[in-house]
């Protein structure tokens, strides 16, 4: 009995000795509660950016970034650039951007990272143009694009409808939009926006909205018949930003949106057409004002202009259209994809010239697939046909109904005379 006591005492001493070092880490953990120090956050974001561009490390890096976002540890303005840089690396790296297409878990992480970054306090720490890139330019990537890869036909068609609506809302593209897209991609890749040289150039529309109305151009020479404006048809000279109207004695400047009554239109133009033109100009001016608010994000740190952000949105919507191609093997998705590609081709003037070739390639792909199905005819597998094509194939090859609408004997070899019909 006495021999066991020292062992028991030793065990007690060991237990007590083992408990003492456990108390100290608990105290350290309690002291470490709360947001990490700023230098640790910046260091963590830098490491996440380096690893998030590698497909094998994407999920782990995205999980760490998601923890920082949900803990509101990136609410300070000095962390906004580091966060935006990490998100930009994930959105612009093709290997990572296309990874979620085939990986359900990666697709969920990709969407959560961007959606949570746009919804949490860290979005408030970003500059206006950074928030616009996150929500408008990259929004289709993590909202509609990933929703297309599903076995739910209702969810697929809903995402498809959203993509078509977004394409229809794009303004017509110009030659300047190709250059804007190239500058935006280069700025995001080189991170020149950190020093204000990110390809951000003065936006004429933003400057006009910010600085007031445009200065009127020089008036044209007086008309040959100075009394023409008083006795005959009204003399109107169209110019950039408005028009010069001859009052009978001198030219009067009427800016767009400020013209009313008879001076708003030439004599040959109907009031309905003039009203439609005024409505279009007012809508374009309102859109320019909204774009200027974002582009006028032209803060001292530089950034992307509204034209560059719009060019990135066009690219994201085109990536959504191209992402439908793997889903074309699913029979119930083909009709919706055909309609979406046809709508995109109808609105291809809303895309840059360099992007229209990719839309034409999608159109040729869908037309070739449809032609192949028609050519296969009865030899095509049932899984390769849509429900409409299956019904067309079944009824077209059936001998149960004759060309005259009478009932034949079918496989029984009869003439249908043994069938009694009412009427």
Two structure tokens written together for 116: 């949570």
Q: State the chain's mean pLDDT as an integer.
A: 73
Condensed to tens digits (0 to 9), the pLDDT of residues 350-375 reads 999 989 999 999 999 999 998 888 88
Per-residue model confidence (pLDDT) at position 201? 41
Judged by DSSP in three states, 401 sits in: strand
Average pLDDT over residues 257-282: 63
Two structure tokens written together for 112: 């959560």
Average pLDDT over residues 18-43: 53
Q: Where is pLDDT greater, at 413 or 217?
A: 217
Two structure tokens written together for 354: 């360099």
Phi/psi of residue 237, nearest 5 degrees:
-115, 110
d(CA 75, CA 284): 35
Per-residue model confidence (pLDDT) at position 11? 47
d(CA 146, CA 149): 6
pLDDT of residue 98 exceeding 50: yes
pLDDT confidence bin for 279, thresholds 50/70/90 = confident
Per-residue model confidence (pLDDT) at position 136? 92
pLDDT of residue 12 exceeding 90: no
Q: Which residue has the tokens 């009313």?
A: 260
- The segment with the largest mean pLDDT, out of 19-33, 352-366, 401-415, is 352-366
Q: Which residue has the tokens 């969407």?
A: 111
Helix axes 306-323, 331-346, angle to 10 degrees: 150
Average pLDDT over residues 402-417: 51
pLDDT of residue 102 exceeding 80: no
What is the percent of the chain with per-residue pLDDT over 70, rounded to a whole number?
59
Count of beta carbons in the 10 Å neighbourhood of residue 62: 25
Per-residue model confidence (pLDDT) at position 347? 93
Per-residue model confidence (pLDDT) at position 415? 52
Average pLDDT over residues 172-191: 88
37 HSE (CA, 13 A, CB side) = 5
How does DSSP assign 226-271, residue by residue?
A: TTHHHHSSPPEEEETTEEEEE-SSSEEEEETTS--GGGGS-TTS-H
Average pLDDT over residues 110-116: 89
Q: Where is pLDDT greater, at 333 or 32?
A: 333
Residue ranges per structural domain of the chain: 1-33, 38-209+301-375, 211-291
Condensed to tens digits (0 to 9), the pLDDT of residues 122-148 reads 777 788 888 899 999 999 988 898 888
pLDDT confidence bin for 315, thresholds 50/70/90 = very high
Two structure tokens written together for 147: 């929703």
Are 145 and 320 spatial neighbours (Cβ–Cβ below 8 Å)? yes
Average pLDDT over residues 99-115: 81
Average pLDDT over residues 285-295: 59
pLDDT of residue 7 exceeding 70: no
pTM: 0.59
pLDDT confidence bin for 260, thresholds 50/70/90 = very low
d(CA 386, CA 383): 8
Per-residue model confidence (pLDDT) at position 381? 54
Judged by DSSP in three states, 407 sits in: strand
Condensed to tens digits (0 to 9), the pLDDT of residues 218-244 reads 677 776 654 444 444 566 666 655 677
Per-residue model confidence (pLDDT) at position 32? 46
The beta strand positions in 308-350, using DSSP E, are: none
Judged by DSSP in three states, 301 sits in: coil
Average pLDDT over residues 311-336: 91
Q: Where is pLDDT greater, at 261 or 256?
A: 256
Phi/psi of residue 270, nearest 5 degrees:
-75, 160
Per-residue model confidence (pLDDT) at position 278? 78
Which residues does 47 contact at the CB level (< 8 Å), separation at least 6? none
């Amino acid at each position: 009995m006495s021999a066991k006591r020292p062992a028991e005492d030793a065990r007690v001493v060991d237990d007590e000795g083992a408990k003492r070092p456990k108390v100290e880490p608990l105290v350290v953990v309690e002291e470490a509660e709360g947001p990490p120090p700023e230098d640790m956050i910046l260091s963590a974001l830098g490491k996440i950016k380096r690893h998030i561009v590698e497909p094998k490390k994407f999920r782990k890096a995205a999980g760490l970034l998601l923890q920082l976002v949900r803990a509101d540890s990136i609410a300070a303005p000095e962390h906004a650039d580091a966060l935006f840089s990490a998100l930009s690396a994930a959105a612009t790296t093709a290997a990572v951007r296309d990874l979620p297409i085939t990986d359900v878990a990666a697709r969920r992480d990709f969407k959560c990272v961007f959606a949570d970054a746009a919804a949490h306090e860290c979005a408030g720490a970003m500059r206006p143009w950074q928030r616009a890139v996150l929500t408008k330019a990259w929004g289709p990537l993590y909202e509609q694009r990933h929703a297309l890869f599903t076995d739910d036909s209702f969810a697929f068609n809903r995402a498809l409808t959203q993509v078509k609506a977004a394409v229809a809302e794009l303004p017509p593209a110009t030659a300047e939009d190709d250059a804007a897209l190239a500058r935006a991609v280069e700025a995001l890749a080189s991170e020149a926006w950190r020093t204000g040289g990110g390809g951000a150039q003065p936006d004429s529309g933003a400057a006009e909205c910010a600085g007031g109305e445009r200065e009127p151009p020089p008036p044209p020479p007086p008309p040959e018949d100075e009394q023409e404006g008083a006795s005959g048809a009204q003399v109107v000279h169209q110019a950039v930003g408005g028009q010069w109207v001859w009052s009978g004695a001198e030219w009067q400047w009427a800016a767009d949106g400020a013209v009313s009554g008879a001076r708003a239109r030439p004599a040959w133009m109907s009031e309905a057409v003039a009203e439609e033109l005024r409505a279009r100009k007012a809508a374009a001016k309102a859109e320019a004002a909204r774009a200027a608010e974002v582009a006028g994000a032209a803060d001292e740190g530089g950034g992307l202009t509204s034209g560059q952000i719009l060019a990135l949105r066009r690219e994201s919507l085109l990536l959504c259209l191209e992402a439908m191609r793997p889903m074309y093997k699913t029979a119930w998705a083909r009709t919706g994809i055909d309609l979406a590609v046809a709508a995109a081709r109808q609105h291809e003037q809303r895309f840059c010239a360099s992007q229209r070739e990719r839309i034409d390639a999608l159109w040729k792909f869908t037309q070739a697939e449809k032609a192949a199905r028609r050519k296969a005819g009865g030899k095509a597998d049932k899984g390769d046909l849509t429900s409409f094509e299956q019904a067309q194939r079944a009824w077209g090859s059936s001998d149960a109904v004759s060309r005259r609408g009478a009932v034949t004997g079918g496989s029984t070899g009869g003439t249908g005379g043994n069938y009694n019909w009412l009427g």
